Amino acid sequence: MLRDISVSFSPHISHPLSTRSVMVDVVISLAPAMAAAGYYFRLRALILVATCVIASVATEFICNTIRKKACSLGDFSAVVTGIILALSLPPRLPVWTAVIGSVFAIAIGKMVFGGLGSNIFNPAMVGRTFLAVSFGALMTTWATPATLDAKMPKIAPENMIHARTQATPLAWSKMAINNELGADIYAEQNFKWTVTGEVGGCLGETSVIALVIGAVYLLMRRTVAFHIPLAVVLSAFVFGTIAYWIDSYSYVQPFYHLTSGGLLLCAFFIAADPVTAPLTRRGMWIFGIGVGALTMLIRIVGGYPEGVMFSVLIMNAVTPLIDRLCKRVPAGGKPNV
């Protein structure tokens, strides 16, 4: 009656979810941010995103070929890395630099560790850090959004040049302090623009609205757990508030910290990358709080205006320790052996 019956472990049915569908979800959720980047930075955005994606995918393909491994492009993770890297690059970055960043991100950030799932650090952040360290000047040259004609206030004569090169809001605040002006002088005027995205900055980080739309999609689809993003945002807000209370002249308002820079992009798409974040909920909270706190530490105390890149990498490095610290206890308690 029956010829070929197969035998396997239970369960014999499975949820339709796959690694690819998870990655595609992330791509979809990044679409609003990409659209916003396209709107504000026009062709530059398009070229950078396309470059990074193509370079990332090609690098993964080459690495697989060299290592004689099965093709892993089907999981779409290289596409996600490419997009996130592109969105964290400044608009005026030359294409060749973006290619170097993508190759480094995939080859050194991911493939040398053994590919998807084995990497310790977020590949996109590895690539970006490499670029930031190697091409410091290029990585801090910002472009004016195409929709904006020098709305930015000119704080000091020596900063006039920034009306054209358009520094990021956080860099402005740092400069304001250096020029002995209150940090808030700029923040108050600029808050609205940081929400819509009409400011200088990396491609994907400027528009809060676009990021939040994508994040809502991700959370509704339950593609990422809300713990890490919430922990990042909350801890950044708390530390920003403390700093603002201590010295409201030197430090900008906490809300401004949330809406400007890469904090939201980081919270929802970079820190929440499951491969490099802890597994347990308790671990996720620790990780998220760590990312938020380190970001604010670098922003407030450190020399860089922006700190998400380093804070994510630092917390990535301690993820295995967090996982070990936050072991789950079985529902019935520890067995008494």
Phi-psi region of 201 (alpha: psi -120 to 50; beta: other; left: phi over 0): left
* Residue 3 vs 157, nearer CB to other proteins: 3
Nearer residue to other proteins within complex by CB, 125 or 143: 125
Q: Which long-range contacts (CB under 8 A, 24 or more apart) does 299-305 make?
A: 299/170, 299/257, 299/261, 300/239, 300/240, 300/243, 300/251, 305/168, 305/170, 305/171, 305/173, 305/174, 305/261
At closest approach, how far in Å is the CB of 9 from other proteins? 3
Q: What residue type is 42 in one-letter code?
A: R
Query: Closer CB to other proteins, residue 133 or residue 329?
Result: 329
The distance of closest approach from Cβ of residue 276 to other proteins in the complex, given in angstroms and rounded to an integer, is 8
Minimum CB distance to other proteins, residue 224 (Å): 8
CA–CA separation, 106 vs 187, rounded Å? 37
| Closest distance of CB 102 from other proteins, Å | 20
Residue 301 or 331: which CB sits closer to other proteins? 331
Q: Is 292 exposed, middle or buried (0-12, 13-18, 19+ CB in 10 A)?
A: buried
CB of 74 to other proteins, least distance (A): 7
Contact predicate 154/163, CB 8 Å = yes
* Distance in Å, CB of 300 to other proteins, minimum: 31
Q: Smaller CB distance to other proteins: residue 157 or 333? A: 333
Contact yes or no for 222/26 (Cβ under 8 A) = no
- Whether residue 91 is preceded by a cis peptide bond, meaning omega within 30 degrees of 0, is no
Residue closer to other proteins by CB (options 23, 152) is 23
The residues binding other proteins (CB under 8 A) are 1-2, 4-19, 21-22, 72, 74-75, 77, 114-118, 225, 274-275, 277, 279-281, 284, 327-337
